[in-house]
Amino acid sequence: MRISDSGEYVHSAPWSVGSQGSENVSHGCINVSPSNAKWFYNLSQRGDPITVTGSDRELDAENGWGYWQVKWQDWVKGSALKRSVTTAAHVDAATLSAQRGAKPKAPEKQRAEGN
């Protein structure tokens, strides 16, 4: 998973498992074991924030094509509204197919059930 537009990633690195968490084994990427990589890829979604700890090196906001490494609070300060905006309700992707297959209830039944 890319965490910057200048080449830093979170990725599986089976060659460095013995050193992960105790030695610097990368030139900028976050190396994880194959099992941790699988867990991470299955859990995360595009746009999820990544917080790197245990390093004194910060991602440079000017290093790359975008500003993914700028803190959200600082990014919002540069917006016209100076605040976050929600455009749609959060939808759980796991329930989408179930919702699409369900028959819509008649309005009378929804009112009777309190929906």
pLDDT tens digits along 92-112: 666 655 555 555 555 555 455
Task: Give the pLDDT mean for 2-20.
Answer: 85
Res 70 pLDDT > 90: no
Contact assessment for residue 17 and residue 37, using Cβ atoms and an 8 Å cutoff: no
Told to judge if 11 belongs to the known catalytic residues of this protein, a careful annotator would answer: yes
Told to judge if 59 belongs to the known catalytic residues of this protein, a careful annotator would answer: no
- The DSSP result for the chain, as a single string, is -BSSTTS-BEEE-GGGTTTTTTS--SSS-EEE-HHHHHHHHHH--TT------S-SPPPPTTSSSS-TTS-HHHHHHTSSSSS----S----GGGHHHHHHSPPPPHHHHHHTT-
- Residue predicted with more confidence, 69 or 47: 47
- Residue predicted with more confidence, 7 or 30: 30
Share of the chain above pLDDT 90, in %: 16
User: Which residue, chain included where needed, has tokens 């990725």?
Assistant: 11
The residue annotated as part of the active site, out of 11, 36, 40, 50, is: 11
The per-residue pLDDT for 9 is 86
The per-residue pLDDT for 29 is 85
- Residue predicted with more confidence, 80 or 94: 80
* Angstrom distances, CA of residue 104 to CA of 6, 82, 114: 47, 39, 15
Task: Give the pLDDT mean for 80-88.
Answer: 77
The residue annotated as part of the active site, out of 17, 29, 61, 70, is: 29
pTM over the 0.75 mark: no
Count CA atoms within 13 Å of residue 47 on its CB side. Answer: 0
